[in-house]
């Protein structure tokens, strides 16, 4: 396993749509292992492959709370089959938009289909933080960031702030 570099705004690769995965093989599992390690090191709770500059429809996630056993989850070619009309707000952040947090409103519950680490097809309902996180990460696969759900002014301020941080580092 190896740590990968996380790209941040305004890197144009974050705006690109990712390609479906053809096969869940050892090469893809090696990518998922690297992504999980990179996410834990950041630290974060979700990471899409494009955030390590790989344009594939792959996501890793771990929503375990501090002190709990790790619960790594892997999503290949995820699809949303259904989303509730009811929405819920959540204060989101993103490893590609460091140190910016703002409230985004999304469907409160979704039904998902994806392939797991072993390439098995799973259908699952998600709610709460799981629903927030999977929708946030799936946006990345289509080149959408959480700040794209905010006003233009807030989005521009966020990008300016991240650029400033990068210069100061």
Catalytic residues: 137
Count of helices and strands (H, E) across the chain: 3, 7
- Residue 110 interacting with Ni ion (CB under 5 A): no
- HSE at residue 20, side-chain half, CA atoms within 13 A, is 7
- Residue 58 interacting with Ni ion (CB under 5 A): no
Q: Which of 94, 115, 133, 141 binds Ni ion (CB under 5 A)?
A: 94
Contact map string, positions 23 to 42, toward Ni ion, x by CB under 5 A:
--------------------
Which of these segments, 60-68, 73-81, 87-95, 115-123, binds Ni ion (CB under 5 A)? 87-95
Least distance CB 136 / Ni ion (angstroms)? 6
- HSE at residue 51, side-chain half, CA atoms within 13 A, is 29
Collapsing DSSP to helix, strand or coil, 162 comes out as helix
Collapsing DSSP to helix, strand or coil, 61 comes out as strand
Residues that bind Ni ion (CB under 5 A): 94
């Amino acid at each position: 396993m190896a740590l990968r570099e996380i790209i941040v705004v305004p890197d144009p690769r974050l705006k690109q749509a990712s390609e479906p995965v053809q096969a869940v093989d050892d090469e893809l599992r090696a990518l998922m292992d690297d992504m999980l390690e990179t996410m834990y090191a950041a630290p974060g709770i979700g990471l899409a492959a494009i955030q390590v500059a790989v344009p594939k429809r792959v996501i890793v996630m771990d929503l375990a709370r501090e002190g709990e056993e790790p619960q790594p989850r892997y999503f290949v070619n995820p699809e949303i089959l259904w989303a509730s009309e009811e929405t819920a707000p959540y204060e989101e952040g993103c490893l590609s938009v460091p140190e910016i947090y703002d409230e985004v409103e999304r469907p409160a519950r979704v039904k998902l289909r994806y392939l797991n680490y072993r390439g098995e097809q799973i259908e699952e309902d998600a709610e709460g933080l799981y629903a927030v996180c999977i929708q946030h990460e799936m946006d990345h696969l289509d080149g959408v960031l959480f700040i794209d759900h905010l006003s233009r002014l807030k989005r521009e301020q966020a990008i300016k702030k991240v650029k400033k941080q990068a210069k100061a580092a």
